[in-house]
Homo-oligomer: A and B are copies of this chain.
Amino acid sequence: MHTDAGLKKMLPANIEIRDYLAGLIKQSRLKQNERLPSERELVEQFKSTRITVRDALSKLESEGLIYRSNRRGWFVSPPRLEYDPSSRVNFYLLAEQQQRTPATELISQKRIKGPQAARTALAVAADEKLIELVRLRSLDGRPVLYEFIYLPESRFPELMKKDLEGSLTTLMQRDYNVEITHEDNRICVSAVYDQVADALSHINGAPCLEIRRIRYEGERKAVEFDIEHWVHSAIELRIPSH
């Protein structure tokens, strides 16, 4: 009979499966964006159950080693995009600097009251509407960022007639003469639900990296409020400080 008696600590099955798969990935036996064996195949291989296998997979997901694509399977994560929020490099340039292929899809554009957090940040009058842009951004075809952008209508007339899938910073500068002087970023680990989860191919309640940002032109005048939901395994922030 098999026993580990005293040789090494007996590991729970979920950790053994995790370690096995993590090993394959670190040795590059599984390459980036390659699909893992299906959950049921892993059940067979480890003589275990789907609960346990899925537990192992979600641990690997938490670590950022793998990601899921809705009902298609589990895949090996490519390297994280390095992102410095304090630099003014836009998404396209950033991606290309790191040999990745970026894409942006405009999900919706609306004139709305908007969430209270946005109204407060932008200090708009009670009757003024905001423009809400919702965009999905991808790297190499994999969705990685779902963002909500709020702008005061009065500062950006005719905005909704423009091309809103490119760099917003460039557009604001070129067409509205906006120079961002500084910004305030808040970063935390949060979770995605509903439309956000769906768009990012995540399940409801999966963890994400959330960045909330206020951009200013001039000392006090806020002109943009964003909420970004990043697939957590897709990004690493770099914050140099002096």
Interface residues of A (CB under 8 A from B): 12, 14-15, 18, 51, 55, 58-60, 62-64, 80, 85-86, 181-191, 204-209, 232-233, 235-242
Contact = CB atoms under 8 A, between A and B. Distances in A.
Contact of A182 (B182, B209, B242): B242
Contact of A64 (B55, B188, B241, B242): B188
A190 B15 contact: no
A237 B186 contact: yes
Contacts of A183: 240-241
Q: Which 9 A-B residue pairings sit nearest by Cβ, starting from the closest?
A: A59-B205, A86-B241, A189-B232, A62-B191, A187-B237, A63-B191, A185-B239, A62-B207, A188-B236
Contacts of A237: 185-188
A239 B232 CA distance: 18
Contacts of A59: 191, 204-205
Nearest to A87: B241
A238 B51 contact: no
